[in-house]
A and B are shown apart, each in its own frame.
Chain A
Amino acid sequence: EADIYQTPRYLVIGTGKKITLECSQTMGHDKMYWYQQDPGMELHLIHYSYGVNSTEKGDLSSESTVSRIRTEHFPLTLESARPSHTSQYLCASSGTGVAKNIQYFGAGTRLSVL
């Protein structure tokens, strides 16, 4: 079973607040990803990382930022939350070798900005 954790699971917050969504994995995976999923819509990649100090933007533009200071940790930050940021955010990671193309997903964070 994959060991990738996201906190919080649910977050309701007011407009203008700064928030950080946490994602941690204990599998030693180099690659990590953030996806955004609006209700009834596809998941879209918003950020990914190939390893420590590597961050890239995905195919969906996002006002969020990410950092990768440690292999196991890939937090996502919104400096000033807005109602348009209301969505589900899913974190994933993938390793190397035979299973390098398999992404393991966390349970997600459902964010509501009032």
Chain B
Amino acid sequence: KQEVTQIPAALSVPEGENLVLNCSFTDSAIYNLQWFRQDPGKGLTSLLLIQSSQREQTSGRLNASLDKSSGRSTLYIAASQPGDSATYLCAVLTGANNLFFGTGTRLTVIP
């Protein structure tokens, strides 16, 4: 069964710093990997999706990489802002459209 792990569980950084969130998965047979943002009391917002054949995706200050063979992905956030404070979830898509989620990294950006 696919298992997704995210480290660290929580992270606090001062505003303006660059940071990296890590995600690892046990079964490399995935269709894609997604990074989501979850704000308290709200649903999930998809940030980036990397297809299994891709190595990275970029959107604004966010860059996600995927190394499928080693079962790892990173989310790089440049020049962090207080508005980036949220929980970041990674999820891998396997057969039957099943998404397997990690437990998330709770990010706090301190002004």
Contacts and interface: CB of A to CB of B under 8 A. Distances in A.
Given A42-B4, A43-B89, A59-B1, A107 B97 contact: no
Interface of A: 4, 6, 9, 31, 33, 35, 40-45, 48, 56, 58-59, 90, 92, 94, 101-108, 110
Given A40-B103, A42-B103, A90 B44 contact: yes
B32 A101 contact: yes
B101 A43 contact: yes
Contacts, number: 60
Contact of B43 (A33, A59, A106): A106
Interface centre among B42, B43, B91, B100 (most CB of A within 10 A): B43
A103 B43 contact: no
A90 B41 CA distance: 11
Contacts of B102: 42
Interface centre among B42, B44, B45, B96 (most CB of A within 10 A): B44
Interface in B32-76: 32, 34, 36, 41-46, 49
Nearest to B49: A102
Contacts of A48: 96-98
